Amino acid sequence: MITEWFADPIAALDYGKTWLRGNTRSHILMGRTSRGFCLIDPRNKDGHYCQIVAKLYRKEKAND
């Protein structure tokens, strides 16, 4: 899990976009718990007890 907790889902999505730009992962998961929203590295999805509410993909470059 990425160590940030968010009360607002839009803020979590914005942080996820920033995280994807700086990483080689193709996607990131967003989970919801009673504590708020969290971002989960896809390598560690089995170690978290939360409801997955979104899967954010990296924007692919167009082949021109």
CB distance 32 to 39 below 8 Å: no
pLDDT for residue 40? 86
Tens of pLDDT, residue by residue over 20-55, are 888 888 888 899 988 899 988 877 655 667 888 989
CA quadruple 39, 43, 45, 48: dihedral sign: negative
pTM to 2 decimal places: 0.75
DSSP 36: E
pLDDT for residue 46? 59
Between 24 and 7, the higher pLDDT residue = 7
pLDDT for residue 22? 80
Contacting residues for 42 by C-beta, under 8 A, at least 6 apart = 25, 27, 28, 29
